Structure 1
Amino acid sequence: MLATCVWGATFLIIHVAVQYTGPWFFVGMRFITAGLFSALLFARVLKGLTLKEIGAGVAIGVMIFFGYGLQTAGLQTLNSSTSAFISALYVPLVPLLQWVVFRKRPGLLTWIGVALAFFGLILLADPGSVGFTFGSGEIVTIISTLPIAGEIILIGWFAGKVHLGRVTVVQLLVAGLLGFLTVPIVGEQIPEFSWVWVIASVALGLASCMIQLAMNWAQKSVSPTRATIIYAGEPVWAAIIGRIAGDRLPPIAILGALFIVIGSLISELRPPKSSDASAQEKATS
């Protein structure tokens, strides 16, 4: 829950930072910093790095690059609260991508959750007499939820098969390197020096490293379903912090945000199996 609170605060920090630097340069700085921090933590075990771990780190790093890169680009025009609630769509997307990749068919609650989250997204666009207000920021943020969901699936796929520390170092460095390589491709300029983006990138780099380690440690005793429900609190924290900073969502957008959170929670609920129910009945009898 503490990691989720810090996670929610990053939206406002990024929103401020990208007013002083381009999004892709900031992504490069953030994740290179995170990679260097993690390399210091796992320096003793890096010598044992294998090709499989490099492959896993590169795959996850590419997802991090696209996911958080597009999310950062969206925060140039979106306020932190709106971005956080749209980003929460990755929660119901995870089971849908698992269906596509691993043929694990989603249950009824997942479909209900996806429908509620989609309806919430429509309301979050604040429809009015002039129609929906989806701009480029909303669009790239919606797209960013796909690679973020892909990152979660890949982490689950490689969990227990590779050394967590070494893969963490590779994935963070790959995400940072790709961020820097994207700067000239999109025609982004190297920003003028400012303590705003310097402090923000270093702080988020350290936070990204520590949050990842905290999540990996905590999920040894917390089930993925329960952990994802806890993570659904991320946009709520972002909204609270954004509100303190001056974000003002219209009532219909707040209702949409509520639908997204509820949809995310419902999509991760699992009805008890009949065998479990019968076992409980025998135990009580």
Structure 2
Amino acid sequence: MAAVALVAVTAAWGATFVVVQDAVSKVPVMDFLAVRFCVAAAAMLALRPMALRKMGKEGYIRSVWLGLALGLGYITQTYGLQHTSASVSGFITGMFVVLTPVISWLVLGRKTGPNVWRAVLLATLGLAILSVRGGSAGIGELLTLLCAVLFALHIVGLGEWSSKHDIYGLALLQIAFVGGLCLAAAVPNGLTLPPDAGVWGAVALTALVATAFAFIIQTWAQSLMSPARAAVIMTMEPVFAGFFAVLLAGDQLTLRIILGGMLVLAAMILTEVKPGTSLKRLEI
């Protein structure tokens, strides 16, 4: 159920790409992120105002570290996009699937099984096919690589701490901290609020569904699975983004999208196969 729920989260993230793409043509990306995360945090606090009482001092400190990694990940990704193509950015960001088991091993001493490493390889190949159409090396790529490291740190930290604290409170504090970071990054240039009902609709959709709901589910799901397994499942996000772009935005369904998506899907399925299981025993 945790794996299915996390797939649903990646579907929600992928579906919002089409909506966000139109919204950020009218509002600066950092301003949109600030409003999105602040609205999500406000909605969550209004729904359960007493949730933070269960966190304790340690919960607050860990939430700050998780929010810092996640928020700086979004910020470095945004500034990196100003110096590199969206396709290259998408692939480098997706490298968190490789970095997550590495960081988990280096920092926590957690070993990763052979099936997960095979899944990481498949997912990386799938992401490359989905995203890369040429590239270069420069400040944009370095900033985006830093983003991938930060996202991997967030996944590892969430996997380590989510089972030790109130799920709702932990998700709320992370989102609030990300909102504060994005707000601090946006204010020096003057905060631009959504100019019309369409952009406010995009804010509502991304804040309530793709942020508040999604991060509660992610926090819960990661309390029940390893960070490496979660990272592989989360590579389904660009697959769903491509699917909804074809379905809703009229993008062309290409062989590249089909092949890349199938490899990422195969990687996700591989993480569900127990080590030593014979292919003849798999029921499809």
- TM exceeding 0.5: yes
Deviations 1:59-86 (A, max 9, x none): 111122123344455678866x987676
2:15 to 9, 12, 16: 9
What letter corresponds to residue 251 of structure 2 in structure 1? D
1:21 equivalent to 2:23? Answer no
- Partner Cα distance (1:219, 1:56) in 2: 15
2 CA distance for matches of 1:259 and 1:134? 26
Deviation of 1:36 after TM superposition, in Å, equals 0.9
* 1:210 matched to 2:217: no
Shift of 1:19: 1.2
The partner residue of 1:233 within 232, 236, 246 is 236
Secondary structure of 1:271 counterpart: coil
Structure 2 regions of 5+ residues with no counterpart? 1-6, 279-284
- Alignment-derived partner of residue 199 in structure 1: 201
Contact 1:84/1:239 (8 A) holds in 2: no
The aligned counterpart of 2:132 is 125
Q: Is contact 1:90-1:145 (8 Å) kept? A: yes
Q: Which residue of 1 aligns with 2:163?
A: 160
Aligned match of 2:251: 247
Deviations for 1:197-237, whole angstroms, at most 9, x for unmatched residues? 332223211111122234455667x6558766654433322
Give me the identity figure in percent. Answer: 27
Residues 124-203 of structure 1: pairs in structure 2 closer than 5 A: 124-127=131-134, 132=135, 141=144, 143-184=146-187, 188-191=189-192, 193-195=194-196, 196-203=198-205
State the distance in 1 between where 2:219 and 2:61 align.
Answer: 19
Q: Counterpart in 1 of 2:4? A: none
Name the CA distance, whole Å, in 2 between partners of 1:135 and 1:243: 31
Structure 1 residue runs of 5 or longer lacking an equivalent are 278-285
Work out which of the two has the higher radius of gyration on C-alpha atoms and give 1 or 2: 1
Counting only pairs closer than 5 Å after superposition, residues 57-68 of structure 1 correspond to structure 2 as: 57-68=63-74
Give how far 1:26 is off.
1.4
How far does residue 32 in structure 1 lie from its aligned partner after superposition? 0.9
Find the counterpart in structure 1 of residue 56 from structure 2: 50
* Alpha-carbon distance change, 136 to 148 in structure 1, aligned in 2, over 3 angstroms: same
Is the contact made by 1:24 and 1:183 (CA closer than 8 Å) also made in structure 2?
yes
CA deviation map 1:16-65 (0-9, x unaligned): 22211222211111111111111122212434542212101111111221
Kindly indicate whether the alpha-carbon contact (under 8 Å) linking 1:84 and 1:238 is maintained by their aligned counterparts in 2: no
Q: Secondary structure at the match of 1:190?
A: coil
Amino acid at match of 1:236: V
SS in 2 for 1:104: coil
Cα RMSD between the aligned structures? 3.7
Q: How many residues align?
A: 266
In 2, Cα distance between equivalents of 1:122 and 1:7: 19
- Of 26-35 and 37-46, more deviation after overlay is shown by 37-46
